[in-house]
Amino acid sequence: MTASPGSVAAPSTPADPGYATLASADASVTLLPALGGRVRDVWVGGRQWLWHNPDAAFSAEHEDASLGEAVGSGGFDECFPTVAACKLPSWVDGAAGAKIAERGALWQQRCETAIGTDEFGNSATCRWTISPLTFSLTRTITLRPDGTVEFAYAASNVGTIRMPFIWAAHPVFPLADSTRIILPKGAKTRVWMSDGIELAGGEALHAWPQIRAGGHLVDVSRPAALGERYACTMFVELPRTETAIVIREGRKRLELRVHGRELSHAGIWINRGVLAPTERKCPLLRWKRPRTYSTVTIGPCLGAPESLTDALGAWNTARWIEPGATARWAMTWRAVKVEEDA
């Protein structure tokens, strides 16, 4: 990596994965090429938005493949070509029966990274290749002079047979009592997983933010109000227009702006005072258990649910790319100060 004006880069060592930082005005973004290009920090609107695990440093030895058992050190991961571990169906030509690890194929590899500056702002471009699904993926992060952060993606099929994938942004945010999740009211919502709270899952459809829980409706847009210890995963269908996925803390809100023609869903992973979605593997002695935390992961998805196999099946939301073709999508992050509490 080489640095340019408005950016700084540090080399990797066995104990430190190295980093690249983009800066403009009062905003900055730091990413870690050696940890799959993970975004460690996003400072916009006068605050750091991403959660950091107090018990795990940003290094390869603290990472775990499982999103269920751990979220590693925190920050913002890219999940591609699946989120959950899966085995592809036998009818997927060129990759029949292929097993894909949880969190996908990117987080375990050091990505090629180039950072620079042009008339549009400071940028960092990361490139990955994966197999047996014959994809290359490129992500360019651009920090504009006005403090907005743009993420642009290009997935190319470099093989000779069409291939399927799903993609999910997986930024982890701290979950506080004041945290609110704002999505288009009435958008179709399905519960993928719930533990410690009774939410109607399976084929049940809900209208955001009201979810059926037992014999009544609960408002999931304020996660901390639903209980002290629970976890759940939901997917919300996005309208085919420009849409804002919003996380709000008091009078500050972070908007993830996307277009529904490119990205089909918003994924929401709520972890309220739970180390993992289940405690079956936790030690019986309470003082030997790792400390718990509260986080919410919310981000746009191309396809749903977590598993590419399920997206190829009943959900029918997987994206296919023909040989030599490229799929493109994007999102923009910006922080906004809200004048009045609501």
**What are the tens digits of pLDDT across the range 140-161?**
999 998 899 999 999 999 999 9
Per-residue model confidence as pLDDT tens digits over 176-208:
999 999 999 999 999 999 999 999 999 899 999
- How far apart, in whole angstroms, are the C-alpha atoms of residue 250 and residue 341? 7
The encoded tokens of residue 212 equal 């059926």
Q: Cβ atoms within 10 A of the Cβ of 304, count?
A: 24
Distances in Å between the Cα of 18 and the Cα atoms of 32, 49, 166 are 6, 21, 28
- Predicted confidence at residue 182, as pLDDT, reads 97
Longest Cα pair distance anywhere in the chain, in angstroms? 58
Among 57-66, 161-170, 295-304, where is mean pLDDT lowest? 57-66
CA dihedral 214, 220, 223, 224 (to 10 degrees): -60
Give the per-residue pLDDT at 243.
Answer: 96
Q: What is the DSSP letter of 74?
A: B
Position 135 pLDDT exceeds 70: yes
Q: How far apart are CA 128 and CA 24, in angstroms?
A: 26
- Locus of tokens 């997935």: 155
> What pLDDT is stored for residue 289 in this prediction?
55
What is the set of domains in the chain, with CATH numbers?
Answer: 7-337 (2.70.98.10)
Q: What is the reported pTM?
A: 0.89
Q: Read off the tokens for 13.
A: 């060592």
pLDDT digits (tens, 9 = 90+) for 260-316: 999 999 999 999 988 644 343 444 445 455 678 899 999 999 999 999 999 999 999
Place of tokens 């939301």: 317
The CA-atom distances, in angstroms, between 223 and each of 26, 121, 178, 179, 210 are 30, 36, 9, 7, 12
Token pair for 342? 């609501």
Length of the chain: 342
- The whole-number pLDDT of residue 149 equals 95
78, 167 in Cβ contact below 8 A? yes
* Three-state secondary-structure class, residue 312: helix
Place of tokens 């277009």: 259
Q: What is the distance of C-alpha 82 from the center of its chain?
A: 11
CB atoms within 10 A of CB 14: 8
